[in-house]
A and B are shown apart, each in its own frame.
Chain A
Amino acid sequence: MKRSTGLPYRCVLADCLGNTTERVVEGRHGLAGASRASGEYEGDRRGPPHVIVRANSSARRIAADVIKFGISTPLSGPAAPWGIPHKNATELIFDEVNSQGGLDVGGKKYKLEVIAYDHKYVIAEGVATINRLISKDGVKYISVLGGAVVKANEEPVNEAGVLNLPLAYAEGLVSPKNPLTFHSFPSPPETTVFWKWIKERHPQIKRVATISPNDDTGWWSIKIETTYVEKLGYQIAAKEFFERGLTDFNPILLRMLAQKPDIISVMASPAGSVGLIIKQARELGFKGRFIHVGQVDTSVVANIAGKANVEGMWVHGYVQSPLPEKVKAWQAKYTKKYGEWNATSIDFTNPAFAFVAAVKKAQSLDPKKIADALHSVEFENLWGKAHFGGKDFYGIANQIIYPMPFSEVKDGVATLVAQLTPPHN
Chain B
Amino acid sequence: MTASLLVQSAVIGLSIGSIYILMALGLTLMFGMMHIINFAHGAVYMLGAYVIYYVFFQSGAPYFVSFVVAMVLLGVFGYLVERSIYRPVKGGIEPTLVALLALTTFLQAAGYPVFGQLDKHVPPVFEGTKNVLGVMVSVERLVIIPIAAALVVGLYLFINKTKMGAAMRAIEQDKEAAALQGVNVHVVNGLAFAIGFALAAASGALMAPIFKLDPMMGEQPLLKAFIIIILGGLGSIPGAIVGGLMLGLIDSIVATALGAEPAFLLSFVFIILVLLFKPTGLFGYAQ
Contact = CB atoms under 8 A, between A and B. Distances in A.
Interface of A: 75-78, 80-81, 84, 214, 240-243, 245-248, 250-252, 254-255, 258, 271-272, 275-276, 280, 283-285, 300, 303-304, 306
A343 to B, nearest CB: 14
B136 A284 contact: yes
B260 A252 contact: yes
A251 B214 CA distance: 22
A246 B216 CA distance: 11
Contact of A255 (B211, B212, B259, B264): B259
Nearest to A74: B117
A254 B5 contact: yes
Contacts of A258: 2, 5, 256
Contact of B252 (A242, A254, A284): A254
Contacts of A255: 255-257, 259
B282 to A, nearest CB: 23
A274 to B, nearest CB: 11
A170 B241 CA distance: 42
B66 interface: no
Contacts of B129: 283, 285
B262 to A, nearest CB: 11
A272 B117 contact: no
Contacts of A240: 259-260
Interface residues of B, number: 38
Contact of A251 (B112, B119, B255): B255
A241 B260 contact: yes
A75 B256 CA distance: 34
Given A84-B117, A251-B12, A272-B119, A77 B214 contact: yes
B112 A76 contact: yes
Interface string B192-218: 000000000000000000011011110
B219 interface: yes
Given A80-B118, A81-B118, A242-B260, A252 B255 contact: yes
A251 B117 contact: no
B256 A245 contact: no
A76 B260 CA distance: 26
A184 to B, nearest CB: 23
Contacts of A77: 117, 119, 214, 216
A242 B216 CA distance: 17
A254 B214 contact: no
Given A242-B260, A251-B260, A275 B121 contact: yes
Centre residue among A84, A252, A283 by max chain B CB count within 10 A = A283
B275 to A, nearest CB: 24
Contacts of B240: none
Given A245-B219, A272-B214, A250 B16 contact: yes
B6 to A, nearest CB: 10
Interface string B85-121: 0000000000000000000000000001000011101
B5 A80 contact: no
A247 B255 contact: no
Contacts of B138: 280, 283
A81 B19 CA distance: 28
Nearest to A272: B119
Contact of A254 (B12, B215, B261): B12
Given A250-B252, A251-B256, 16 more contacts: A76-B112, A78-B214, A80-B117, A80-B118, A240-B259, A241-B260, A243-B264, A248-B16, A248-B211, A250-B15, A251-B12, A254-B9, A255-B257, A258-B2, A280-B138, A284-B136
